[in-house]
Structure 1
Amino acid sequence: MVLILVLGVLLALAALAAYTFWGVLKIQTPTNGPSIKSESRRGTALLIIDVQADFTKETGSRKWDPDYLQSRLDQINALAELAKQKGWPIIAIRHVYQGWYTNFLVRLLGGGLGARGSNGLQMDPRVTAKPDLDIEKSKSDAFGEQELSAFLKTHQVDHLILTGLDGNACVKNTSIGALNRGYRVELCDPAILAYNQKAWELQKEALQEMGAAVSHDIVENAADAGAEKDPA
């Protein structure tokens, strides 16, 4: 009887572990979708990914270096101002975990960061961008939300400038989701945050091999181009 009970408990734990693994895999896997290559799109959009108060803390176990964080936020704000001048739509993407079990694990193991009901789900108040679209996502790839593809189609966007965090997670997987659909992906490196910088360097190389571009001076280049058109 005891043996049967022990086996039952072990089977239940194994099933729970398998379900947890499947759930994590589902959240972390980039998505696929219809290709836009046959469409005559020529627009650009700025994506600000997961720059939420929950994920931009300077204290606690998942804290950022204040100078590193502020420099990235400044670059995001500069890009948002450029997008406003150019007429590019700005899309704010915020991660909010879905499902009671996922939220239970996030609260138990992750300090509740990104869990439904957290006080830090909104954009970091230091981000001054006024988004044209605000999306909640529950997967690391923002293209898991149909609202994003629909908005980009309406605005005839084929070129995406990606910023935000984390470079090794949601930025990477959203980039892959975009590339899978035929978008031109441009990663603005000074506006992307990554806890593991060594891993991010490798991720950038991998994304470039897949077709993404990595830029370091989008704002500066735009300013230089403007100066050439309107010399003092």
Structure 2
Amino acid sequence: METAIYGLMAGGAVLVLALSVYAFRELAAISRPTAGPAIDSEERPNRALLLIDLQGDFSRRTGKGAYGETVRAAAVARANTLAAEARRLGEPVIVVRHVWHGWPARLAARLALGGAGNPGRKGLALDPDLHPGEAIDIVKHVGDSFSVPDLSAHLERLKVGSLRLAGLDACHCVQLTARGAAARGYKVEIVDDAVLASVPADWQVLKPKLIAEGIRITPAPVA
């Protein structure tokens, strides 16, 4: 009997360890850029605008990590201006929406974000103030938008070699997408006043590192 009990306990420990390792790997994958085939940006003359994670669940969060209404409204308004400019120039607009996938990420979102980004929530829709017009819609499950093969396929079809990025969070999904794009050979521009950072000080520290990696950060216009 004792042998059976010890066997069950050992089996349970192994299961917990295996689940812990799996969860760690899944969560780690969320927060690193992806790798992919390199492109020649010179053979792709077009530019596209990526609007990243500007969904009510994220942009209108309250409590710790909230962006604040004034900051949110200003960034969304700037994103609308960028989208209108892109449409005027005939450049594609791509809306990237985030939905957590897999139990480790969904559990983490429930514990840390009150469930924001989990399937079935109304807040998965775009921020009500965002008006991208006709846009390509992409759904991702980790930080880097290039984790979705459809994104690369659309960019290839449209001969896009340059990207402008707006959205949130600057220190997470925006910078991960920027790095994923740059690693593939895209010319990348982050529009500073069109991104939101829950910890602005961290974003200020991160910007020089991105610039050193060849990612352009367009400063806000001087008032």
TM-score when normalising by structure 2: 0.90
In 2, Cα distance between equivalents of 1:61 and 1:131: 34
Give 1:36's aligned residue.
39
User: Which residue does 1:46 correspond to in 2?
Assistant: 49
Residue 149 of structure 2 corresponds to 146
Alignment of 1:94-105 (within 5 A): 94-105=97-108
Shift in Å, 1:15? 2.4
The letter of the residue matching 1:82 is: E
Letter in 2 for 1:137: K
Pairing of 1:150-189 with structure 2 (within 5 A): 150-189=153-192
Structure 1 residue 59 displacement after superposition? 2.5
Q: Secondary structure at the residue paired with 1:189?
A: strand
Q: Is the 8 A contact 1:166 1:195 kept in 2?
A: yes
Q: Distance in 2 between matches of 1:191 and 1:102?
A: 27
2:110 maps to 107
- Structure 2 residue runs of 5 or longer lacking an equivalent are none
1:196-224 CA deviation, whole Å, 9 max, x = no partner?
A: 11211122111111111110258x9xxxx
| Residue identity matched to 1:11 | V
> What's the TM-score, normalizing by structure 1?
0.87
Give the distance between the partners of 1:153 and 1:179, measured in 2 at CA. 15
Secondary structure class of the residue paired with 1:191? strand
1:16 aligns with 2:19: yes
User: Structure 1's 28 and 155: CA in aligned 2 closer, same or farther, altered over 3 A?
Assistant: same
Which deviates the most, 23-32 or 132-141? 23-32
Per the alignment, in what secondary structure is the counterpart of residue 82 of structure 1? helix
Give the alignment partner of residue 116 of structure 1, picking from 110, 119, 128: 119
Q: Contact 1:106 / 1:115 at 8 angstroms: preserved in 2?
A: yes
Distance 2:112 2:7 in 1: 31
Please, which moves more after superposition, 141-150 or 50-59? 50-59
Instruction: State how many pairs are aligned.
Output: 219
Instruction: Name 2:75's counterpart in structure 1.
Output: 72
Query: 2:220 aligned with 1:208, yes or no?
Result: no
Change (3 A) 1:109 1:190: closer
Q: Is the 8 A contact 2:41 2:187 kept in 1?
A: no
| Distance in 2 of aligned mates of 1:188 and 1:38 | 20
Q: State the Cα distance separating 1:7 from its structure 2 match.
A: 4.5
Contact 1:92 1:131 in 2 (8 A): no
Is 1:192 aligned to 2:195, yes or no? yes
RMSD after superposition: 2.0
In the alignment, is the contact (CA less than 8 A) between 1:58 and 1:66 conserved in 2? no
- Residues 130-183 of structure 1 deviation map (CA, whole Å, 9 limit, x = unaligned): 142010001111001111111111111111000000011100110011001100
Letter of the 1:199 partner, please give it.
Answer: D
Q: Aligned residue for 1:81?
A: 84
Identity across aligned pairs (percent)? 37
Following the alignment from structure 1 to structure 2, what is the Cα–Cα distance between the partners of residues 89 and 38?
16
Q: 2:38 touches 2:185 (CA, 8 Å); kept in 1?
A: yes
Contact kept? 1:51, 1:164, Cα under 8 Å: yes
